Structure 1
Amino acid sequence: MPTGRQTVERRQLGLTLRRLRREAGLSQQEAARAINRHYTRISHLESAKASLSIDELGLLLDRYGVSDADRETVLALGAVARKRQRGKGYTDQLPKSFERLADLQADAAAIGFYDTGIVPGLAQSQDYIVALMRAADGIWWEASEDEIERRVAFRLQQQRRVLEAEEPKQIDFVLTESALEEVVGSPEIMRGQLLHLLQLGERPSVSVRVLSRAATSKPLLGGGLITLDFAGNAPRMTCTTSHGPCTYHDQELETAPMLRAWESVRELALDSESARALLIEKLKELK
């Protein structure tokens, strides 16, 4: 039987296990046999409505052929997901936290992105991504050309996963005007990025807005925010971003003011047509 509420940790665990099962080429019924459970248990587990003991989780990972390093991370996530006591927010400090954020984005029906001074990841052009990864190489991870390539490939794959989903997601980007002026890589790369934003804004389910320098009220100044709406299948979540791991919030006491702040910057930002005109103006300035 399903037990407990759908916390961030449970959703992360469920989505991770669903991805691993699919990568192993197994059905839910085949996975359930590994732990002597009915297939509905796997369904409830993957939808964050149930949990497993650590021993059962270990058997499932054996069946999925999960490597030692990834196995340790999933088991640690399983232990966190089983905890009943919750703090105000959950900071994902386990390895490959970006993969679990990617799973949540792929599962959401609507996503909102706000950031200060940088173009949000799902709206970045390939050259912009490469420039960002090269700037971070040797700082946020050990210098490695392979790691740069892996991170660039992952972000591009995630863009396809979200922007080209079978059921289109409603995606709203709110950028600060400073993000359009901050040169990342080179002026040529920025020209390509501005063109990329113009193309994104032409998609029917994507909105690109810009918070102008002239706006005097900026409730999210200095921070980034991602909102995740699962169309009633789970509580709405927010994720506050920085240079470190994401901190997730899924309790209304915390998410309500964050969602109000998101709606506020969205309303304060230039609408899509005005933002498009500003993007074209910035593009001309780079020539």
Structure 2
Amino acid sequence: MGQARATFERRQLGLVLRRLRERAGKPQQAGADAVGKVRSRIVQLEDGTATASQEDLDRLLACYGASGEERHTVLELGALARKRQQRRVHVDNLPDAYRRFADLEASAYEINSVESGVIPGVLQSPAYVQALFAEAEGIWWEPEGAQAEDRWFFRMDRQARLLGESDRRVMRFVITEDALRANMGAPEVMHEQLEHLVNLMDKYPALNIRVLPTGVYGNPVRGRTLLVFGFGDRGTPVGYSSGVPGPATYYDGEEETASMLRAFHRVWDLTLGREDSRRLIQKIAKENVDGTVDSGHGLVQEQP
């Protein structure tokens, strides 16, 4: 293993190896012993500042009990990490891309997120997650397939990793007003979700949740999802922008991530402040309970 710059591919490889090692309950020294290196080399590898030969990866995977498709994916990541890559756009076509997205997200010091029309995954309540998955079943994956339960536990684990009591990362989430007023199949689903948002804001004062009102003009992220992860002095920012389900696409070129951060901060400036956002969420929750809807021209009582 040689010293290397922390590229996106090396960061992905390192995060996957760390997850496999922790899943196996092995200390870093065990990995070092498996490849005949000092522990600091495993630290560098997991931090994305070292590369590994295929032979060393084979030994680490055997040590961590990884096999089959999982082993193949890590070896593919290792081959990409050893190549000289032009930093700009990275497409993750390998299996379980959503797990590597969660690894990257959990390792970030700063998360900046704008999602149009949907509550961000980290902030979703259990009933909202179920309703969201139900809308996609039979379209993006087979209904009641083996992936359904796995997706559920993955979403809950992702939330637990980011919303720990001792978490000190900076997290900024922009929620569009239409996402707060969405029909998720039953009024109680949306009511639970809105109450969940308020509870999160109360429980985690450092969690920055703001609402972008529907009538605001000047949103450069309109109709899009935009996330930018910051890593402080551990590496360059990484941007993510999703379309329909498919390969995950990331950006780590300086020009691209700078543009994405400018777009995020433009939207952030258009949002309501924290307390005004909280009051609007509570107002919409009350409308939901009272059976009223806001048509955009004032509240209108729903007909029985």
Which of the five TM-score ranges fits, normalised by the shorter chain? Answer: over 0.9
Write the distance in 1 (CA, Å) between the matches of 2:188 and 2:34.
54
Q: Secondary structure, in 3 states, of the residue corresponding to 2:233? A: coil
Partner of residue 270 from structure 2, selected from 252, 268, 272 = 268
Q: Per-residue displacement from partner, 1:48-72 (whole Å, max 9, x unpaired)? A: 0011112221121111110211111
Could you list the runs of 4 or more consecutive aligned residues of structure 1 that deviate by over 6 angstroms after TM superposition?
none
Letter in 1 for 2:68: D
Asked if the contact 1:112–1:172 (Cα under 8 Å) also holds between the matched residues in 2, the reply is yes
Query: After superposition, where does 1:74-153 map in structure 2 within 5 Å?
Result: 74-86=74-86, 88-153=88-153
Asked if the contact 1:225–1:238 (Cα under 8 Å) also holds between the matched residues in 2, the reply is yes
Bigger radius of gyration, 1 or 2? 2
Asked if the contact 1:211–1:270 (Cα under 8 Å) also holds between the matched residues in 2, the reply is yes
Return closer, same or farther for 1:167/1:282 CA change in 2, 3 Å cut-off.
closer
1:2 shift after superposition = 5.3
Q: Secondary structure, in 3 states, of the residue corresponding to 1:286? A: helix
Asked if the contact 2:87–2:253 (Cα under 8 Å) also holds between the matched residues in 1, the reply is no
Partner of residue 259 from structure 2, selected from 245, 248, 257 = 257
Asked if the contact 2:2–2:52 (Cα under 8 Å) also holds between the matched residues in 1, the reply is no
What residue number does 1:286 align with? 288
Aligned-residue sequence identity (percent) comes to: 42
Query: After superposition, where does 1:1-287 map in structure 2 within 5 Å?
Result: 3-86=3-86, 88-164=88-164, 166-202=166-202, 203-243=204-244, 244-287=246-289
Write the distance in 1 (CA, Å) between the matches of 2:76 and 2:166.
32
Paired residues, number:
287
Asked if the contact 1:130–1:148 (Cα under 8 Å) also holds between the matched residues in 2, the reply is no
The more displaced of 110-119 and 30-39 is 30-39
1:145 shift after superposition = 4.7
In the alignment, structure 1 segments of 5+ residues that lack a partner are none
Q: Secondary structure, in 3 states, of the residue corresponding to 1:241? A: coil
Write the distance in 2 (CA, Å) between the matches of 1:66 and 1:111.
30
Asked if the contact 1:134–1:148 (Cα under 8 Å) also holds between the matched residues in 2, the reply is no
Write the distance in 2 (CA, Å) between the matches of 1:227 and 1:165.
23
The more displaced of 245-254 and 217-226 is 245-254
1:142 shift after superposition = 2.4
1:3 shift after superposition = 3.0
Return closer, same or farther for 1:240/1:284 CA change in 2, 3 Å cut-off.
same
Letter in 2 for 1:242: G
Write the distance in 2 (CA, Å) between the matches of 1:245 and 1:74.
17
TM-score of the pair, normalised by structure 2: 0.90
Letter in 1 for 2:262: R
TM-score of the pair, normalised by structure 1: 0.95
RMSD of the TM alignment (CA)?
A: 1.5
1:231 shift after superposition = 2.5
Write the distance in 1 (CA, Å) between the matches of 2:66 and 2:144.
25
Asked if the contact 1:241–1:247 (Cα under 8 Å) also holds between the matched residues in 2, the reply is yes
In the alignment, structure 2 segments of 5+ residues that lack a partner are 290-304
Letter in 2 for 1:272: R
Q: Secondary structure, in 3 states, of the residue corresponding to 2:228? A: strand
Return closer, same or farther for 1:39/1:80 CA change in 2, 3 Å cut-off.
same
Letter in 2 for 1:171: M
Write the distance in 2 (CA, Å) between the matches of 1:54 and 1:166.
37
Letter in 2 for 1:92: D
Write the distance in 2 (CA, Å) between the matches of 1:165 and 1:60.
32
Write the distance in 2 (CA, Å) between the matches of 1:200 and 1:242.
27
Asked if the contact 2:87–2:252 (Cα under 8 Å) also holds between the matched residues in 1, the reply is no
Letter in 2 for 1:205: A
Q: Secondary structure, in 3 states, of the residue corresponding to 2:210? A: strand
